[in-house]
Amino acid sequence: MERIEYVEWRDARGVTQEWTDIKILKKMDSCICYSVGRLIRENKREIVLLPHWGDDPPFGCGEMVIPISNIEKRKRLK
């Protein structure tokens, strides 16, 4: 069984849907996201985290491919 992990990671934010003052846009920042799930795969570039899964046969939903460079904190859960 894959291990369960808690991951804090930095993601992009934005895509305004209306004209926005440049002064406001200059203050925009990325955001921290918080995810928990099964660690399905990990390599030098990314992890695949799966928050929803079933066992017969093994299946999942809601997978996240998170770049390693975006991860701020991660912890294995019991």
CA pair distance 45, 36, nearest whole angstrom:
19
78 pLDDT tier (thresholds 50, 70, 90): confident
Instruction: Please give the model's pTM, rounded to 2 decimal places.
Output: 0.83
Q: How many CB atoms lie within 10 A of CB 4?
A: 16
Most confident of 22-26, 45-49, 54-58: 45-49
Q: Using a pLDDT cut of 70, give the percent of the chain over it.
A: 99
Average pLDDT over residues 39-67: 95
- Give the pLDDT confidence score for residue 1 in this predicted structure: 59
DSSP structure string for 10-68: EE-----SS---HHHHHT---EEEEEEEEEEEE-SSEEEEESEEEETTEEEES-EEEEG
